[in-house]
Amino acid sequence: MGIIERIDAPTNKVAPHKKTGRTIKTGTAKPAENTAKLPLNSILKMDCIEAMASLPDASIDMVFADPPYNLQLGGDLYRPEGGQVDAVDDAWDQFDSFAAYDAFTKAWLSEARRILKPNGSLWVIGSYHNIFRVGASLQDIGYWILNDIIWRKANPMPNFKGTRFTNAHETLIWAAKSEKAKYTFNYRAMKNLNDELQMRSDWVMPICGGQERLKRDGVKAHPTQKPEALLYRIMLATTNPGDIVLDPFFGTGTTGAVAKRLGRHWIGCEKEDVYCEVAEERIEAALPLDESSLKTMQSPKSKPRVAFGTLVETGYLKAGTEICSKNRKFKAKVRADGSLLWEGKEGSIHKIGATVQDAPSCNGWTYWYYHDGKELKPIDDLRQTYLLATEP
């Protein structure tokens, strides 16, 4: 894994954006022909459009994009007690006009579609500032929208001025390369992750914080770092082990870190030196899951509900962990999609709990225990810890 400063690519005619120095492709590049030369598990340190133009046609399984939101911020924002909000005011998020933003969007979306395999798919995330413009552009280019996903933030930043509703969600668009694409969707894995219920299109997850929030000298390393749980669910749902995932706006490497954990290859595009350094360190430290944990099942109240899979994707209980009954008689391995593996049988915490006891049903939350380094505790303790940590 490393940073590639430049790769031999055909010359493109480009027009630099006035404020950011980004390039907007105006010509047509002829990509390399040998897919074996893909710079797997590397950061291409260059403009995302230039980087994608250097890659072969139909060589990528999935693109995840977290592009500039073009927030159009007007002045500083302060909290009620007087502290200034650390808002996104970096040059890379600023465009002179909607027309300039649309041109940039269509340029990178076009390159992304060219490098996607026929059955590949694209995910793009945004806020109300940009996601509708991005959605229109990708439809114009020829993508086929499969779902829009609402990421509902369990702990959103308040609206300090009290002039609008609290902006508590972001929108993701999942699109196939074309209407007839036979895209990947691991339906059964998503159902396992959601405690045997069909996964819906509204996902409740906390924003990136705590130890996951990367910092340099006490300051956030990146203003819009996404939680790994979000990428975990996306990759588990729409890719398979060994697939190639490309992120045109790599930032601090969330996509690369999760891809490494889940046994996927990755390629990142990032111009900023500091982000590249942070991403390299982060991905180097990420630990991949073992092969048996990567396997997933295939298809044939008053308190907030928490699926067992949520604890796995957020890292409260890592895939590959061995859990057991209170008397330690039965032991099962946790897998990446939240299912359990016991003596060749697979299923949810409730189903496998019932199976080992030869019982008609089981409350897996109280039956299964994990070791916290000192003693055995019911996995329900982790659920309560998660609920406390994600309270609004």
Q: Tens of pLDDT along 53-62?
A: 999 999 999 9
pTM for this model (two decimals):
0.76
- Which residues lie closer than 8 Å to 266 by C-beta, 6 or more apart? 40, 41, 244, 245, 246, 247, 255, 256, 259, 260
Give per-residue pLDDT as tens, 149-195.
999 988 787 876 778 898 899 999 999 999 999 999 999 999 999 99
Mean pLDDT value of segment 65-90 = 59
Mean pLDDT value of segment 131-140 = 97
Burial of residue 329 (number of CB atoms within 10 Å: 0-12, 13-18, 19+): exposed
Give per-residue pLDDT as tens, 31-52.
444 456 899 999 999 999 999 9
Answer whether residue 119 shows pLDDT above 60: yes
Please check whether residue 224 is in contact with residue 277, taking contact to mean a CB–CB distance below 8 angstroms.
no
Q: Given the DSSP bridges, would you call strands 368-371 and 322-325 parallel, antiparallel or unpaired?
A: antiparallel
Helix (H/G/I), strand (E/B), else coil: 378? strand
| Tokens read off for 193 | 């992750």
Distance CA 246, CA 251 (A): 12
Reported as a pLDDT band with limits 50, 70 and 90, residue 25 is very low
Instruction: Please tell me the predicted confidence (pLDDT) of residue 27.
Output: 36
